[in-house]
Amino acid sequence: MITGATEGVGRATAVALGRQGFRVVLAARDAGKAQAVEREIAAAGGPQADHVVVDLASLRDVRALADTFRRRYPRLDVLINNAGVFLPRRTETADGFETSYQVNYLSHFLLTHLLMDALEKSTQGRIINLSSSVYAVGRFDVRNLQSEKSFSVLGTYAASKLFMLMFTRELARRLGGTRVTANALHPGIVRTRMMLRAPGAFRLLSYLSLPFSISPARGARAAVHLASSPELAGVSGHYFTRSRRTETRNVSDTAENRARLWELSLASLQERGASALRQAG
């Protein structure tokens, strides 16, 4: 399953994995766009793909996505948490969370928990979380977790990508000794619509970086490698830049903060009716 599978890296990843013989489930907001990707996968010689319409700005939609998947399929081999937004101002979802926090991080945290049973039925379940190199300037500040006190375009986005990295490492720790692995990746500077439509001054920076950017197809190679490479069986808790394992540096990314973020995330979901969540580990 791939979230955000109708554009950019998500779409390219779906097509590439379909070409390798994976049956891909596209989690997307737009059914028409998802059907177009299904046709692209079929044209590439892949097995019939499937889609489920979901808006990650809705926790109800996330629960419905997991329920639909479990009804249709006996197991999940790979979960790629790819979807994300890059917003010019602070907004909140109907669930009461800052939008970037929920879409980029919290809904994927919830989805991963809800699909853990399906992942454990695989001979080697893999969770792949899309982070970004901007995690390095993200901050974990419990007083400003959702930009309540201070919003900045880059700071809020970077924090959400830091949270995905911290979540990955804490999840990998809790999954130790099981057949399920969790890794995070930065796909590179990819020419996507989100990049070229970045808000404010960041759009200019995006265009300036075009000479150093790569296509979505090349950006997808890392996720495809993490999803399919036999040599990565059992590899967990790492961060990859493109397809290379990379050391990370952020003062907020500590064992204590990872556990704290996990507990805060669970608590906020439980307050909104997700009390039946099963905790990994």
For 2-270, CATH gives 3.40.50.720
Which whole number is the average pLDDT over 169-189? Answer: 94
Sorted by where each begins, the domain ranges of the chain are 2-270
Instruction: Give the three-state DSSP class for 254.
Output: coil
Assign 197 a pLDDT band (cuts: 50, 70, 90). Answer: low
Asked if pLDDT for residue 190 goes beyond 60, the answer is no
Spatial distance between the Cα atoms of 98 and 155, rounded to a whole number of angstroms: 13
| Residues catalogued as catalytic | 157
Least confident of 85-94, 121-130, 192-201: 192-201
Q: Which two structure tokens, joined as six digits, stand for 158?
A: 């970077």
Assign 276 a pLDDT band (cuts: 50, 70, 90). Answer: very low
pLDDT the model gives residue 214: 65
Asked if pLDDT for residue 211 goes beyond 50, the answer is no
Q: Which amino acid would we find at residue 147? A: S
Assign 280 a pLDDT band (cuts: 50, 70, 90). Answer: low
Burial of 250 per CB tally in 10 Å (0-12, 13-18, 19+): middle
Average pLDDT of the chain to the nearest whole number: 90
Question: How confident is the model over 117-174, as pLDDT tens digits?
Answer: 999 999 999 999 999 888 999 999 999 999 999 999 889 999 999 999 999 999 999 9
Assign 264 a pLDDT band (cuts: 50, 70, 90). Answer: very high
Instruction: Give the three-state DSSP class for 127.
Output: strand
Asked if pLDDT for residue 221 goes beyond 80, the answer is yes
Instruction: Give the three-state DSSP class for 232.
Output: helix
pLDDT the model gives residue 277: 59
Q: Which amino acid would we find at residue 245? A: R
pLDDT the model gives residue 195: 54
